Amino acid sequence: MTAHISKDPLHGVTLEMMVNALVAKYGWHELGDRIKINCFRKDPSVKSSLKFLRRTPWARRLKPCIWTLSTMRDTQNRKRPPLIPGPTVGLSRANTQMTRHVKRTGALAACALLLVSCSSKPPKSLVTPLPTVSKPTQQANVPMRGIWLATVSRLDWPPVASVNGRSADQRIAMQKQALIAKLDNLKHLGINTVFFQVKPDSTALWSSKILPWSDTLTGNIGEYPGYDPLQFMLDEAHKRGMKVHAWFNPYRVSTNTKPSTIAALNRTAYQTPSSVYVQHPEWVRISGDRFVLDPGIPEVRDWITKVVTEVVANYPVDGVQFDDYFYAESPGSALNDSQTWRQYGQGFASKADWRRHNTQQLIVQVSRAIKQTKPDVEFGVSPAGVWRNRSFDPAGSDTRGAAAYDESYADTRQWVQQGLLDYIAPQIYWPFSRDAARYDVLTRWWADVVKPTHTRLYIGIAFYKVGEPSKNEPDWTVQGGVPELKKQLDLNDSLPNVNGTILFREDYLNRPQTQQAVNYLKGRWGG
C-alpha cells in the first residue's frame, strides 16, 4: 500500500516549530519589530507566543504567512535583497474579516515582508525607511583617503607632555597646536577624512551629559579640559576641507583593572555625570584584563545608542564608526556572561548565536538612531579583516585568520547585506605574501560582498607595520615598505567596489622607519 504524500508544505509542521524557527533566525527583538504583536514584544517567550497564537482565530489563519517567514533562507547565503516591505496582495472575501484583525494588530506588515523581490537590485536598509539622501561629492567622485587618530592611552593625541606639570592654559595651547599641526600635515599628505577617537573607553572627548570627560585630556576623569576637543577638531578639519568621523569603542569601560583605575572610576561618583562603572556596576564585566560592558544586556545597548545619538545630535560630524571590539575576550580572560546568557539566551540554539544576535541588535539600534537623528551622517564599522574562513563556511574567504564571526561574535557580512551600514572598513593588516590571510584575497572577497549592495568599502591598511622587521612578514621592510604599500594601494584603486583606504594610525606617519613610505604617499596622494 502506497503511503499518501501530502502536497501541503505545512503537513506535519507545528506552530511551535515555526515560532522556534523564527526566534532562532531573528531573535525576539527583531521579531517584535517585524510582527508587532505583544507576545513577541512585551512577553517574549515561546510559551506566551503559542498561548496567544493558538487562541486567536486570525493568527491561526496566518499560519502559512508565519511558516514562510520562518523558513526563508538567510540573505547571507545568497545575493538577494533582505526582507523589506513590498506590495500587499488581494485577499479573498472569506478572509476579509481576518484582514481587519490583522491590520488592527499590525501583523499584515509581517506578511508584506514575505513578498521580497528576487531581482538583482541592491538591498535596501532594514532600519532606515527614510528619504534617499544624496551623498557628498567626495564619496561619489574622489576615493576616501583616511587615517585613524587614536586617543586611547594618548597613542596619537593629545601629547603626553601636555598633561605633565603644565598649567591649564599651557595644556590647552599645546593640545590645540598639536592637533592643528597634525591636520596640516595630513592635508599636505592628501588625507581627506580623519577617524577621530571620541570615546576611547567610558569617557568622552566632547561635552557629554552621559559620560565624564576623558582623563586623556587632563589626567583626571571628569575634569573639564577648558575647551571641547571634538568641536575644535571639527572646526579645524572642516576649515581644511577634511571630513571627521567620530570613532567609538562601544563596550570598553577601561583599558585595565588596576587598583588606581578602579579608584579613579569610583571618584566620579561625586561628579555629574559619573562613570557608568559606578552608575551601573551590574552592567560591568572583566574581559581581556579590562572592564567592559556586557553586550547581552538590553539596557547596555540602549545606553550606547544614547551616547552615539548625543554626538550626532549636537555636533556636525560627517560620520560615526565603531571599531572591532564587540565581544573582546582573551584565552586567559574570557567574558563571564553566564548569568546574562541564562537570563536572555532562551530561544537560541547556542551561546555563540545569542552573542551574535546581541551584536546585531546594537548595530540595528545605532543605525536606526543615527538615520532618524541626521540622515546625512554616515555609519560604519571597522571589523577584523576576516569575516569567516572557508574551512568553516563555504561563503568565507580562503584564509586561516581569526574571524570576526567566531571570535568577536560579529556577523559583519550580514550587516552589509542587510543595508545596516553606509560603509565597512575591514582591517586587512597583512601583506600579499602572508599565505594565511593574503591582502589581495581578502580585499577581493570584501569587494565581492559589497558589490550587490549600497555599502561602500574602505580598506584598513597596516601602516603601523611599515618598516618594522618581521619574521613572518618581511615585505614590510623591503625598500622601506614602499613596494608592499604600493601593491596594496594599486589593488584598491583597480577594484571598482573599493571606495577608499584608511591608514592605521596617525602617529606612525612621524616614525623614522616609515619616512620612505610617507614620501611615497605625498607623491601619490598629496598632489
Confidence (pLDDT) at 36 = 58
Q: Residue 352: is its pLDDT beyond 80?
A: yes
Phi-psi region of 291 (alpha: psi -120 to 50; beta: other; left: phi over 0): beta
User: Among 40-44, 140-144, 355-359, which stretch is predicted with the lowest mean pLDDT?
Assistant: 40-44
Phi, psi angles (nearest 5°) of residue 428: -100, 85
Q: How large is the average pLDDT for residues 356-372?
A: 98
Confidence (pLDDT) at 30 = 66
Distance (Å, whole) CA 454 – CA 431: 28
Report whether 186 contacts 506 (CB < 8 A). yes
Tell me which CATH code domain 144-526 carries: 3.20.20.80
pLDDT top residue among 255 and 12: 255
Confidence (pLDDT) at 118 = 32
Report pLDDT digits (tens) over 320-349.
999 988 998 888 889 999 999 999 999 999
Confidence (pLDDT) at 166 = 75
When the pLDDT of each residue in the chain is averaged and rounded to a whole number, the result is 84
Say if strands 284-287 and 144-149 run parallel, antiparallel, or are unpaired.
unpaired
Report whether 489 contacts 432 (CB < 8 A). no
Cα dihedral 143, 145, 151, 152 sign? positive
Confidence (pLDDT) at 76 = 39
pLDDT top residue among 215 and 130: 215
Q: Which residues of 69-90 are buried (b: 16+ CB within 10 A; e: fewer)?
A: bbeeeebbeeebbbbbeeeeee
pLDDT band at 527 (very low <50, low <70, confident <90, very high): low
Please give the CATH superfamily to which domain 15-114 belongs.
SAP domain (1.10.720.30)
Report pLDDT digits (tens) over 283-295.
999 998 899 999 9
Q: Please provide the distance, in angstroms rounded to a whole number, between the alpha carbons at the two ends of the chain.
A: 83
Confidence (pLDDT) at 91 = 37
Confidence (pLDDT) at 307 = 98
User: Among 48-52, 75-79, 186-190, 242-246, which stretch is predicted with the lowest mean pLDDT?
Assistant: 75-79
Confidence (pLDDT) at 11 = 52
Residues of the chain with CATH 1.10.720.30: 15-114
Half-sphere exposure of 200 (CA within 13 A, CB side): 24
List the Cα angle 23/24/26 in 5-degree steps: 65
Confidence (pLDDT) at 289 = 87
Q: How large is the average pLDDT for residues 462-475?
A: 97
Residues of the chain with CATH 3.20.20.80: 144-526
Amino acid identity at 293: L
Confidence (pLDDT) at 24 = 61
Distance (Å, whole) CA 18 – CA 338: 27
Confidence (pLDDT) at 288 = 83
Say if strands 144-149 and 193-199 run parallel, antiparallel, or are unpaired.
parallel
For residue 71, which of 8, 21, 115 has the smallest C-alpha distance? 21
User: Among 79-93, 428-442, 486-500, which stretch is predicted with the lowest mean pLDDT?
Assistant: 79-93
Confidence (pLDDT) at 119 = 35
Q: Residue 65: is its pLDDT beyond 90?
A: no
Report pLDDT digits (tens) over 152-204.
999 999 999 999 877 999 999 999 999 999 999 999 999 999 999 999 999 99
Report pLDDT digits (tens) over 77-136.
333 333 333 333 333 433 444 444 444 434 333 433 333 333 344 555 444 443 343 333
Q: Residue 494: is its pLDDT beyond 50?
A: yes
pLDDT band at 40 (very low <50, low <70, confident <90, very high): low
Q: Residue 67: is its pLDDT beyond 90?
A: no
> How many C-beta atoms lie closer than 10 Å to residue 485's C-beta?
26
Distance (Å, whole) CA 92 – CA 402: 53
Confidence (pLDDT) at 142 = 84
Q: Residue 420: is its pLDDT beyond 50?
A: yes
Q: Residue 66: is its pLDDT beyond 80?
A: no
Q: Residue 394: is its pLDDT beyond 70?
A: yes
